[in-house]
Amino acid sequence: MSDPMTPLAVTAYTATSAIGHGLAAQLDALRHARSGLRPNDFSSAPLQCWIGRVDGVENTRLPAEHAVWECRNNRLAWLGLNQDGFLDRVREARERYGAGRIALMLGTSTASIGETETAYRRLDADGGFPDDMLRPAIHAPHSLAAFVTAVLALEGPCLTISTACSSSAKVFASAERMIRLGLVDAAVVGGVDTLCDSVLFGFNALELVSSQPCRPFDAARNGISIGEAAGFALLERVDAAPDAPRLLGYGEASDAHHMSTPHPEGLGAELALRDTLARAGLDALQVDYINLHGTASTKNDEVEAALVSRAFPAHTRSSSTKGFTGHTLGAAGIIEATIALQAIEYGLIPGNLGGSMPDPGCGPQFAWKNEHQRVDVALSNSFGFGGNNACLAFARAGFSA
């Protein structure tokens, strides 16, 4: 088990998803139990399902100097970066530390693959990409991080993490290690994934997509609703911002079981959880809220509900917020991290939207409706294909385990 780590300050954060642009919209939707899911109006061919589509992405244009990066994913990234004063906070950090002393770690599962899909739908007579699609930087999974590093004018380490649905949780771990080693003084972390045919028809082929709005932890759940989102956070040492909420710990582990189904006993998920508690110096009794992975797939929710039941006391509250945003895949880690941070800031336990008939495997820890209480410590679970598990722990400023 890992040694306790020195917490980091989360000095800025922002989220944009189907429930709105920016943190105020997200909080409002959570408070009013308002889902952002809608019938699929996105895929290039009909597919009966519900999606978490972000309004306004199509009308977003990148600044002229970044036009080479145009694609749906980078437009959503740009939309997200412009919320909650995030660009200003990064600029201030850059002025404080220097561009080379800030790392950029972003998670994405498909980046701008939607643009490559478009190129294949428009191949020219000799089977090649049309001229306007001859943009090598866009047809690469690093396109998101490369675009964002250009926008933020950062010159430190820059990495894309692409471990499917745990991607933008793991960025916190990579950033913490680089700050701990003194390679950088701060890090911008986050993730962006956008709707595209690859994920809609891909998850559909795996029979993991529900034709209804997703119902996490419901006894009759029958699959996920895919969403899109952009989220970012700025991490610095605590002495730079003693009043900011903290990243207290994280854990990462592998199932070593199957490419697309979780370990039946949640082995990797539990290892990631235990490692998180160890790094955070926490006992499970001290955890007030867990934002669950809760995709509404039959298997994930069964395994995760059992883990919550055996690892946490009844007073720990837990819920999935996929019923609000849909499963935002590589962006799920950061979006749900921001919901955990809002739970701490506003004392709001979001109800498990969509779960009207609780699965019998769910224990007393589940918050089916919104609850209001002080939250000092909140966890966020993110599990991905390939058995890739991550867990994050956040705490309010001044909390000491």
Partner 1 sequence: MSPLRIHIEGIGLWSKHLGHYAALQSLLAGDTPEPPLSKPAATTLPPNERRRAPESVLLAVEVAGQAVAMSGRAPASLACVFSSSHGDQAITDYMCATLASAPTELSPIRFHNSVHNAPAGYWTIATGCHEPSTAVCAHRMSFGAGLLEAISQALADQCPVLLVCSDIAGAYPLVEETGCTQSFGCALVLAPAVSGTTLASLDITLAPSGSVEPLPEPLASWRDANASADALPLLALLTRGHGRCLVDAAATLALQIELQQVAMPGLDVHHRNVEHVA
Among 198, 212, 309, 370, binds partner 1 (CB under 8 A): 198
- Nearer of residues 54 and 390 to partner 1, judged by Cβ: 390
Stretch that binds partner 1, among 42-50, 73-81, 234-242, 297-305 (CB under 8 A): 42-50
Closest by CA to 329, choosing from 170, 116, 161, 168, is 168
Q: Is residue 140 involved in binding partner 1 (CB under 8 A)?
A: yes
**Token reading at 395:** 């705490």
Q: Is residue 228 involved in binding partner 1 (CB under 8 A)?
A: no
Q: State how far the Cα of 369 lies from the Cα of 174, in Å rounded to an integer.
A: 34
**Token reading at 206:** 């795996």
Q: Is residue 237 involved in binding partner 1 (CB under 8 A)?
A: no
Element (H, E) at 200: helix 197-205
* DSSP letter assigned to residue 385: T
Q: Is residue 1 involved in binding partner 1 (CB under 8 A)?
A: no
Q: Is residue 224 involved in binding partner 1 (CB under 8 A)?
A: no
Residues 295-324 that bind partner 1 (CB under 8 A): none
- Contact between 3 and 65 under an 8 Å Cβ cutoff? The reply is no
Element (H, E) at 377: strand 377-384
Give the nearest distance from C-beta 324 to partner 1 in angstroms: 25
User: Using N-to-C axis directions, what is the helix angle for 86-97 and 143-152, rounded to 10°?
Assistant: 70
Is 391 tagged catalytic? no
Q: State how far the Cα of 220 lies from the Cα of 213, in Å rounded to an integer.
A: 12
Element (H, E) at 332: helix 332-346
Q: State how far the Cα of 165 lies from the Cα of 38, in Å rounded to an integer.
A: 21
Q: Is residue 52 involved in binding partner 1 (CB under 8 A)?
A: no
Q: Is residue 56 involved in binding partner 1 (CB under 8 A)?
A: no
- Nearer of residues 244 and 390 to partner 1, judged by Cβ: 390
Among 91, 96, 180, 310, binds partner 1 (CB under 8 A): 180
Residues 322-381 that bind partner 1 (CB under 8 A): none
Q: Single out the catalytic residue among 165, 196, 214, 391.
A: 165
Give the nearest distance from C-beta 305 to partner 1 in angstroms: 21
CA separation, residue 335 to residues 23, 47, 119, 398 (Å): 10, 26, 29, 24
- Nearer of residues 61 and 258 to partner 1, judged by Cβ: 258
With CB under 8 A as the rule, give the number of residues binding partner 1: 75
Among 65, 131, 207, 239, binds partner 1 (CB under 8 A): 207
Q: Is residue 264 involved in binding partner 1 (CB under 8 A)?
A: no
Is 139 tagged catalytic? no
- Contact between 335 and 17 under an 8 Å Cβ cutoff? The reply is yes
Q: Single out the catalytic residue among 214, 327, 362, 391.
A: 327
* DSSP letter assigned to residue 218: B
Residues 105-134 that bind partner 1 (CB under 8 A): 109, 113, 116-117, 119-121, 123, 127-129, 134
Give the nearest distance from C-beta 391 to partner 1 in angstroms: 11
Q: Is residue 222 involved in binding partner 1 (CB under 8 A)?
A: no
Among 22, 358, 363, 386, binds partner 1 (CB under 8 A): 386
> For tokens 């309004």, what's the residue?
55
Among 155, 345, 371, 376, binds partner 1 (CB under 8 A): 155
Name every residue whose Cβ is closer than 8 Å to that of residue 145 and which is 6 or more positions away in sequence. 104, 105, 106, 108, 158, 159, 160
- Contact between 41 and 183 under an 8 Å Cβ cutoff? The reply is no
- Nearer of residues 70 and 117 to partner 1, judged by Cβ: 117
CB atoms within 10 A of CB 120: 11
Amino acid at site 163: T
Is 258 tagged catalytic? no
Phi/psi-derived region of residue 127, left when phi > 0, alpha when psi is between -120 and 50, beta in every other case: left
- Nearer of residues 136 and 360 to partner 1, judged by Cβ: 136
Q: Is residue 254 involved in binding partner 1 (CB under 8 A)?
A: yes
Active site positions, annotated: 165, 293, 327
